[in-house]
Amino acid sequence: MNLNTFLSDVERHATGYRALENPELRKMALELSYEAKQTETQSSHFMAKSFALVKATAERFLEMSHYPVQLQGGRAMCQGHVAEMRTGEGKTLTATLPLFFHALKGKGALLATANDYLAKRDAQWMQPVYESLGLTTGVVQSEMSRSQRRAAYRCDITYGTMKEFGFDFLRDHSFERERKQNQLYFGSGQAGGTQPSAEHQPVHRTPHFLLIDEADSILIDDARTPLIISSAEDDVTHDQQRMLYQWSAKSVSHFEEDQEYWYDKERKKVDLTPDGTARVRELAKPQILDGVGLPEMYDFVERAIQVARDYQRNRDYVVRDGEIVIVDESTGRISEGRRWSRGIHQAIEAAETVDITMDTNTSAKITVQSFVSRYPLIAGMTGTAASATKEFKKIYQMPVTIIPPNRPSQKIELPVIYRKTEDEKWAAVVEEIIEIHTTQRPILVGTRSIAKSEVLSELLHRAGVTHAVLNARQIEREAEIISSAGEHGRVTVATNMAGRGTDIKIDERVKASGGLHVICTEMHESARVDLQLFGRCGRQGDPGSFRQYVSGEDSLLDSAYGRKPAERYRTIGKIRSDRWWIELFRKAQKKLENQHYRARKILMYNEKQLAKSHIEMGLDPILDVYD
């Protein structure tokens, strides 16, 4: 059935459903559920009937009607695609279509979104539609007990985050192996037999359908970090390791690249040179390290150098109440409960001179790719998928379908502005903000890190520009700040905008003045992150504009080419045009995107090979892991 015929079919059925009483709507849903359970796959005509039922119900209970482009997006997701729908096009409402369609079989449908707040908000927002049609709705939150989680997963439709879904799977897997081991040891009739305790009973259902919101952020950006459950080392080992972290953090400040260490920028890997290992041997060492082998010392020093090079405070992490807390690169949010593995987290703790947490062994881990592959039916939606089409298809076997906007875009892309130094760039950004602010158009300014958002905030204070700041320090006010960012005369400074969820709406007065203006103060390592920021203006055909700034001192060049090559480019660039510089930044961004893509492919390949070898040896590929 072609798209136009499908849309006509949906509207025809919706017209009939609008005339039904509430009990009749629920009866119709029961009939569709019965039909879904009788056949393995459903026809386009069946899909049209289910979409029409959801559409008519949403109109009645939410006073919201699915646009034709939302029906198109829902259809793509039911077919296992990633639907690219621009910011503000109503992905939350669109998601009700594939969730209801796949929940009709009675096997459950999950929606993984960016954070706990969005999961809870969207579940409560859409719940009247599902419940009016006889389906139950659950939401998994980070502070829930296992019994509460089990109840949420038993619902027909469950909202949550990929992190919570993944960790629940790992815990289920760990408890199941423990149960089987106890059964072998005690026997089925003894203590620890076949019946697990209430706390150890699995919470997940058999995998059926998984819909991923912000699919590029979750399936691509977050896929570089596996989900890990750890177990603690003994106290003696910890004392030695703690001193190793502290000693190496103090010892590496003057190690020179290419002289005492080599740096592989693609693998983000540090290796000591012969001169570097000689220097480590010569360094004074505390007595507690007597007996620690040189290879272990080399590893700790290499890790400390990597942290000093690649991890920045208020960009990659913040220090909160004496703890190191990760800041998600693509969203600018605090990543609660996540830790870097392989000693990186402890090395950062040592560099920041906070208490070093007990080092751990990995007892269970799984990558996002492996977790998702356990679901026979998956789909995704995001505002920026087109540039990752190849990766979605190759790794997840998910085609990307670009859904047109409901109304034609009116946003204006202004020329990129280059400045030689970062200070000159900040001055130009502030000048543009002041100029546009005089017209009372709302302005949203994106920065790459917390530190830079605070630098800009101080400059705006000095210039007398009233503004709001949104970064990981103000995350509890996120919805309030973003929802008001489109008001007349507002200036908002924010870190990355992926997965913010809350729409920036503008009124007629703002539309008449030109709409929301967006400024991106620095290119990110992925063009998708920049596009997510730009997508905040021009919502639903509104007017708007956006501009990108770069400077010769921006860190993107160092990340892409290495420090010394980047310095050579800066020297050459003194006599080059602005256009040459802008093209250099675009090439650097593309280079980094390719590097990250290759790293994710290698990660997935290595995991498959490790799992294969574990299975051949009779080991568990998830629980028998080495970190």
Calculate the alpha carbon distances from 208 to 156, 170, 223, 535 in Å.
11, 17, 21, 32
What's the pLDDT tens digit per position in 212-265? 999 998 898 877 777 777 654 444 467 888 889 999 999 988 898 888 998 887
What's the token pair of residue 370? 């492996």
* DSSP class of 195: S
Beta-carbon count within 10 A of 601 CB: 14
Alpha-carbon separation of residue 513 from 91, 347, 492, 507, 602 (angstroms): 28, 51, 17, 10, 49
Q: Which residue has 């905040």 as its token pair? A: 536
Contact 374, 173 (CB under 8 A): no
Distance CA 162, CA 372 (A): 9
Q: What domains appear along the chain, each with residue ranges and CATH number?
A: 66-226+368-402 (3.40.50.300), 234-358 (3.90.1440.10), 410-554 (3.40.50.300)
Could you tell me the pLDDT band of residue 624, with boundaries at 50, 70 and 90? low
Compute the average pLDDT of residues 85-103: 94
Q: How far apart, in whole angstroms, are the C-alpha atoms of residue 534 and residue 546?
A: 6
Measured between alpha carbons, how far is 306 from 300 in angstroms, rounded to an integer?
Answer: 10
- Closest C-alpha to 22, from 126, 107, 103, 134: 134
b vs e for 208-233, b when ≥16 Cβ sit within 10 Å of the residue's Cβ? Answer: bbbbbbbbbbbbbbbbebbbbbbeee
Provide the pLDDT for residue 581. 95
- The segment with the largest mean pLDDT, out of 363-367, 397-401, 472-476, is 397-401
- Give residue-wise pLDDT tens across range 545-581: 999 999 999 999 988 988 888 899 999 888 899 999 9
SS3 readout for 460-473 = HHHCCCCCEEECHH
CA–CA gap between residue 134 and residue 214 (Å, rounded) = 28
- What's the Cα-to-Cα distance from 420 to each of 95, 174, 261, 431, rounded to whole Å? 45, 54, 30, 16
Mean pLDDT score of the chain: 87
Looking at per-residue confidence, does 185 or 96 come out higher?
96
